Structure 1
Amino acid sequence: MRRVVIVGYPDVELLDVACVSDTFDAANRLGADPQYSIEFATLGAQPASSGSGLVLAGQHALERITGPLDTLVVSGGLGHEKAADDPVLVAHVRRLARESRRVSSVCSGTSVLASAGLLDGRRCTTHWVVAQRLAERYPRIQVDPKPLYIKDGNVYTAAGVTSGLDLSLAFVEEDNGAELARAVARALVTYLQRPGNQAQVSMYVQAPTPENSVVRKLVTHIAANLDDDLGTTALADRAGVSERHLTRLFLDHTGRPPAKYVRETRTEAAARLLTSTPLPLAAIARRCGFGSAETLRQAFVGQYGIPPSRYRNLT
């Protein structure tokens, strides 16, 4: 049995706990034999309130748990900074990390790992809302707020909330192979086991500053006309501004120049079609404005780190 210990504390996020526990539980039910024992631990086995007001019973006292462990998971939640400032909790997390095959956090649980010194010199991620605060508070770690999850050695960090599901599915695949991971994903009715370097926030919900009409209108045009000429010159002509001014507007309001914004939007649209339609790659490339399937493949690898065929097979 692979022993999994999930660490909680007051004001924990329920989804950060449940995405992990239910994924491993589904793997137990769908696999040939039960493989994971799942334990929820708090200091003194005290109940852990959640941000929603529901309360989780503490199954085990964190201070009484000893290794070896397979996987140590620190949950996130509104109480993450208080947890990171608790020297007793942090000391036990540090101790158990030494006795664990792999160590992980979900969402803002990264703060506890950072406080324990487990992320010093490592690249990690966390919920994009708290990423800057984390980087400022722990200058020895490298915070990347973009990916869903990051592996650095035997330490894994997942971004916001449901990315804990993606990380847990990755653990199941790492331990048991892709077939069981896909079966678990289907059982949990998640349409896609997303790769770790997929962006936390979709391009389609990253709205530009509403008061900037030029960027807002062009973003709408880009999303609706992916197979049009969306070069910087064409977009500048459409908006009636210079290319230099257009680039400055896009950098200010989307964080990327027009060409990069268009490429990322087209690539994400292709990802959606790969997982929701049986269209061949060449047809998806044409529909999304790529010159060829090979051009799409190169953009896909650059954005997601895997080729389109592999991405489609993850569904």
Structure 2
Amino acid sequence: MKNIGIIVYPEFQVLGLAICAAFECANHQAGGEAVYAISLLSEHGGPVPSSAGFGVETTAFDERQFDTLIVLGDTIIRSMPPALVDYLRHAHPGTRRVCSVCTGSFALAEAGLLDGRRATTHWFHAKQFQQAYPRVRVEDDRIFINDGEVWTSAGMSAGVDLALALVEKDLGGEIARKVAKQLVLYHRRAGGQSQFSVMQELEPKTDRIQAALTYAKQNLKSDLSVDDLAYAANLSPRQFSRVFHAETGQSPAKAIENLRVESARLMMEAGRHSMDAVATSTGFGDRERMRRAFLRAFGQPPQVIQRANRA
């Protein structure tokens, strides 16, 4: 039995508790034998209020040993209780894994557990995190990061991806996939996946430009000329180009390239596709064209990113 201790504090973000579902489903998928036992921990024990206004019942910090400790986060940066930080410092040597969800990384950093390590947190707080803890190697564009026995994740939903990765580490990829399916997740997002989405970053202001982008995402294998996109938006090509740039800050060609790069990267993370298959499926046509696009977007060729995902 692996004991999972989930650490909360007043006003913690309640969505972080979603990670419990991954461990609960893993118990169901492991052949009927409970693998994980979950405890909610806090400084004083008893009810702890969440950000949603209701409380959860907890057990006070004590001398129990845990296989995994996970500090939940919040939507704002608040001072972590000194007792929580001291507990992490003292519990860490006897704990196999210490993890954080979202701004829970601030507690790990305050305890000195992230010094010299790679770590992530929610992108909105990453700059403040780096300034407050310069000895941490912050990577603000990652869903989660595993550096030795310390794991950190980005926003609240990314905590579920981290939990699935812990399940995969313990019980194997097949059970992790079954858990993801039971949770109605398309697939477990790899830790190296970006926190950002091209569609979200473009933020079109009108339905016409949104319709063109949706059409593009659904037809990446096609040439996707300006004429095609203008037709989907019900605008003339000249008017479409002008409106598209005004709303997104990008040319149509650049936006389409970014959509293709994002789609290609997701394919690499989701399975062991060949470079030729990825290039064809995402509309690049050939590997060299895809390689140049990846260099522009990430400063690295796709082979480097694919190897990192497989590792």
Question: For the superposition of Structure 1 and Structure 2, which TM-score range results when normalised by the shorter chain?
Answer: 0.7 to 0.9
Q: Which residue of 2 aligns with 1:29?
A: 28
Deviation at 1:66, TM superposition (A): 2.6
Contact 2:164 2:176 in 1 (8 A): yes
Identity %: 36
The structure-2 alpha-carbon separation of the partners of 1:294 and 1:133, relative to structure 1 and needing over 3 Å to count, comes to same
Contact 2:27 2:36 in 1 (8 A): yes
Q: 1:95 aligns with which of 85, 90, 96?
A: 90
Superposed, 1:302-313 pairs within 5 Å as 302=302, 305-306=305-306
Per-residue CA shift, 1:71-90, capped at 9, x if unaligned? 110000146522x2x21111
For residues 235-263 of structure 1, give each alpha carbon's deviation from its aligned partner in whole angstroms, at most 9, with x where no partner exists: xxx99xxxxxxxxx9xx968xx9998655
Given candidates 187, 190, 206, the residue that maps to 2:185 is: 190
In the alignment, the residues of structure 1 paired with residue 267 and residue 176 of structure 2 have an alpha-carbon distance, to the nearest angstrom, of: 22
Structure 1: stretches of 5+ with no match in the other structure: 231-237, 240-248, 311-315
Distance 1:119-1:46 versus aligned 2 partners, 3 A rule:
same
Q: TM-score, normalised by structure 2?
A: 0.75
C-alpha separation in 2, matches of 1:258 and 1:40: 49
Paired residues of 1:208 and 1:253 also in contact (CA < 8 A): no
8 A Cα contact 2:193 2:269, kept in partner = no
Query: What amino acid does structure 1 have at the position aligned with 2:22?
Result: T
Asked if 1:290 is matched to 2:284, the reply is: yes
Q: Is the 8 A contact 2:6 2:70 kept in 1?
A: yes
Task: Please provide the CA RMSD for this pair.
Answer: 3.9
Q: Count matched residues.
A: 280
Unaligned runs of 5+ in 2: 226-236, 239-244, 295-299
* Bigger shift: residues 115-124 or 201-210: 201-210
Alpha-carbon shift at residue 135 of structure 1 (Å): 1.2
* 1:159–1:200 Cα contact (<8 Å) kept: yes
Does residue 180 in structure 1 map to residue 175 in structure 2?
yes
Contact 1:149 1:167 (8 Å CA) reproduced: yes
Distance 1:113 1:26 in 2: 27
Alignment correspondent of 2:228: none
Q: Do the aligned partners of 1:42 and 1:61 also contact (CA within 8 Å) in 2?
A: yes
TM-score of the pair, normalised by structure 1: 0.74
Aligned to 1:165: 160
Structure 2 distance, partners of 1:124, 1:18, is: 21
Residue 17 (structure 1) shift = 2.1
**Cα offset, 1:286, TM superposition:** 3.4
Q: Tell me if 1:268 matches 2:266.
A: no
Tell me the alpha carbon deviations over residues 97-147 of structure 1, each in whole angstroms, 9 at most, x when there is no partner. Answer: 121111110111011111111111111100111111111111221211101
